[in-house]
Amino acid sequence: MSLLHLAIVLPFLAAVFIPFLFKGLRTIHTGWFVLLVPLALFIYFIQYLPLTGGGQTVTKTFQWIPSLGIDFTAHVDGLGLLFALLITGIGTLVVLYSIYYLAKEKEALHNFYVYLLMFMGAMLGVVLSDNLIVLYMFWEFTSISSFLLIGYWYDRERSRYGAQKSMLITVFGGLSMLGGIVLLYLMGGTFSIQELAGMSGTLITDPLFVPALLLILLGAFTKSAQFPFHIWLPDAMEAPTPVSAYLHSATMVKAGIYLVARMSPVFAESGLWLWLVAGFGIFTLFWGSFNAVKKTDLKAILAFSTISQLGLIMSLLGVGAAALHYDYLDENIYMIATIAAVFHLINHATFKGALFMMVGIVDHETGTRDIRKLGGLVTLMPITFTIAIIGSFSMAGIPPFNGFLSKEMFLAAMISIIEVDVFNLNTWGYLFPVLAWVGSVFTFVYSIMLVYKTFLGKAQFEKLPKKPHEAPIGMLISPLILIALVIVFGFFPNLLSNSMIKPAVEAILPALGDAGQEVYVNIYFWHGFTPELFMTLGVVLIGIVLYSTLPKWQGIYNRIPERLTLNGFYDKGLAGSETGGYRLTNGVMSGFMRTYLVYIFSFFVAILLATLFIRGAFLFDTADLAQIEPYEVVLAIVLAASAITILFAKTRLMSFISLGAVGYSIALFFVFFGAPDLALTQLVIETVSVALFLLCFYHLPEISRKEERMGFRFGNALLAVLVGLTVTLLAFSSFSYRSFESISQYHIENVYDLAAGGNMVNVILVDFRGFDTLFEIAVLGVAALGIYAMIRFRAVRSENE
């Protein structure tokens, strides 16, 4: 395992020791030890900047399950490194912030930091894995760890609700993504993203291409809170503020962004990819910004702001797919969308991370996040106010901050897309600049709300649960660093151009390099009097008017009843599934074994007969049948007679004897057919079973002859006949029909060479089917533990009585 692999798993390894540090070093905040992990990883990943900046990549492979094509292949290129630096860099600041936000005396810090490190390692695994199965494994780790982080304050109902909601929606998307991964493997014969990208020209003609595309996008949209799957993100804000600043600004919600960017080389040539990614993204931008204005909780405003900004980035990645058809575009703008997406990805992490920390400070120092109770804090919290105004202005796209630059590029990309004469973009494409501008207007409105209603306006200190004051310096360091980056990246954006943005764009659109098109990144403030500049002026003017008249038009949000919202449908669906499941369970779980056997045998008959019929497997080939000896006929008659006797036996003892005769007859068949080991196993099992039956029924009360005899039931008889017929047909067909060559010859040839054993049956059980045998042993072990627990429980209850 390489150093790169160790860097990915380091957070998991560190998480193992956190509980011991928490218990052993109570006088020191556990966060100080955790801080070393992301800081060391950030320093480690910085060393790759010269390599990716020079157009190189690093790939390290650790063989895991090579027989299935699953290897832990770590791949570092411009895109993966960008996300790795965001994950570790923002992670360092979040851990530092959490040290002052979470008191060691009141919080279960060992749980918090274990979950946080699990999430950090999972995100690094997602962005640095080239193998799709390994990526999926880490992807689901992010869902599990984020569930734990969101539900960290599990004693609060809203925290449990938000954690469950995020888990259900993101895991649904993850399972859909797994289906897409399987389809990609069926098309390309590999799980490697780089190899699949090289096959994009042939994959697009495969009939499985569109289903794979849709399933992959389901995974991306659910994780990155795209409409209509965005409803989990606002409820996830019940998590502690460090979690919100980390998961919901820089990392988890951007996993879907990463997936779309990473899979663009595979799918971007399709017009469906462009329309779905760009279309859902631009509508999510509008919907998120529109709904943010109606919120009164600072975190809720930032939650819908995050949804909106994620939609912005997603729409840029979709529009950027048009760069593959660059012949239709002016050479100066054909890559602007993808460049803007990468640049705004960085900018969003800086200003949104700072804003979440700012909200945490306000909540920590005033006791509330309700803007209806806040106001006038500028004189008491001037540093926090500075963080808020710079972060909000950057988010609104106001100069001279970095958000203005990427917002201008965004508007330019939305305008330029209507010039593309592919996929009907020159007609329906006019919706993109319209929705982009409207969404930007509402972004400006909620940004002004965030600052004015919290820090300016009339002071309402009497409504606050705590006396407000400025936060301690330790809590201010992290947001101040992020705000400094907002300013630096605003005035000197080209610090990132060739070191981070260009390599990431080249990784997203490698086909451009193959076509000889060089990625050129040069970001600056003044572009002249351009359409996007006038759109920005319109955003500011209309935004000021809308904010000034907010009380007059804000009532439109109350026109839609809560039960008709997406959240209402989710709650109804969840409640309905619980109620329906309860009713279904009560309907089918009668408590009688015979009822369950009817279910089992009915499905057994239906599925097997349908499969045999569909596959045309009703065959009966007598060419290779062995000669039937007279003693075999006699034994078969004894077996059948014993089975029939069970049905008509008048005493339990006769039933047990007949049942034993059936088992011993089968054992004799094994002897005749040359399988003494199976015969011995059958004899042992049959003897034990009969003995146990006799022992158990000996203790049962006597049953009268009238109650013991059961009447004839046509349904049961029909089902029994069908089961027997199905098994008989299956036996005949399995002998006569071969879908593929028998594996027995492989066992014969390799039993000694590969397993160094002489007994083929033992080798099959222990080596060739080792996992199957292991799980069977595990089942027996669990059953034994259950029986032991029941016996112990009965003994304890007897003592108490």
Rounded Cα distance between 34 and 95, Å, is 7
**Under 8 Å between Cβ of 322 and 432:** no
Rounded Cα distance between 306 and 353, Å, is 10
What would the DSSP string read from start to end of 604-659?
HHHHHHHHHHHTT------TTPPPPPHHHHHHHHHHHHHHHHHHH-SSHHHHHHHH
Rounded Cα distance between 342 and 493, Å, is 12
**Under 8 Å between Cβ of 358 and 395:** no
- Residue 65 CB coordination number (10 Å): 12
State whether residue 75 is helix, strand or coil.
strand
**Under 8 Å between Cβ of 74 and 54:** no
Nearest to 519 by CA among 337, 348, 381: 337
pLDDT digits (tens, 9 = 90+) for 460-519: 888 888 888 898 998 999 999 999 999 999 999 889 988 999 999 999 988 666 666 778
Rounded Cα distance between 229 and 166, Å, is 10
CA dihedral over 222, 226, 229, 233, signed as positive or negative: positive
Strand partners, 666: none
State whether residue 741 is helix, strand or coil.
coil
Tell me how far apart the terminal alpha carbons of the chain are, to the nearest angstrom: 60
User: Which H helix or E strand runs over 42?
Assistant: helix 31-46
Residue carrying the six token digits 């640049």: 343
User: pTM (2 decimals)?
Assistant: 0.82
CA dihedral over 788, 793, 796, 801, signed as positive or negative: negative
Q: Which pLDDT score is estimated for 328?
A: 46
Successive 10-residue mean pLDDT values, the chain, 801 residues: 91 92 82 94 95 90 87 93 95 94 84 94 95 95 93 90 93 95 94 91 91 96 92 90 84 91 90 91 95 92 94 92 60 73 94 93 90 90 94 92 92 83 73 93 94 88 87 92 94 90 90 70 83 92 93 83 79 87 84 85 90 77 75 88 83 81 89 83 85 73 53 81 88 73 78 77 79 86 87 66 58
Ordered alpha helix ranges (H), 494-616: 502-508, 510-514, 531-548, 550-553, 566-588, 593-614
Q: Which pLDDT score is estimated for 801?
A: 58
Q: Which pLDDT score is estimated for 738?
A: 67
State whether residue 465 is helix, strand or coil.
coil
For residue 587, give both structure tokens: 């309907």
**Under 8 Å between Cβ of 712 and 706:** no
Q: How far is CA 170 from CA 56, 163, 222, 225, 292, in A?
A: 34, 11, 5, 9, 22
- Residue 310 CB coordination number (10 Å): 28
The domain limits of the chain are 563-589, 593-739, 743-801
Rounded Cα distance between 91 and 124, Å, is 11
Q: Which residue type occupies 23?
A: K
Give the distance, in angstroms, between the CA of residue 256 and the centroid of all CA atoms in the same chain: 9
Nearest to 299 by CA among 401, 351, 368: 368
Q: Which pLDDT score is estimated for 800?
A: 58
Nearest to 261 by CA among 46, 86, 61, 438: 86
For residue 147, give both structure tokens: 């569930």
Residue carrying the six token digits 């079973």: 689
**Under 8 Å between Cβ of 411 and 535:** yes
Residues 6+ apart with CB under 8 A from 785: none
What would the DSSP string read from start to end of 472-504?
PHHHHHHHHHHHHHHHHHHH-GGGTIIIIIHHH
Q: Which pLDDT score is estimated for 737?
A: 66
Q: Quick one: how many helices (H) and strands (E) in the chain?
A: 34, 2
Q: How far is CA 78 from CA 287, 313, 504, 509, in A?
A: 31, 17, 4, 11
Q: Which pLDDT score is estimated for 326?
A: 54
Q: Which pLDDT score is estimated for 675?
A: 81
Rounded Cα distance between 485 and 70, Å, is 40
Rounded Cα distance between 479 and 468, Å, is 19
Rounded Cα distance between 472 and 328, Å, is 55
Rounded Cα distance between 632 and 767, Å, is 34
Strand partners, 65: 70
Q: Which pLDDT score is estimated for 795?
A: 61
pLDDT digits (tens, 9 = 90+) for 204-228: 999 999 999 999 999 999 999 999 9
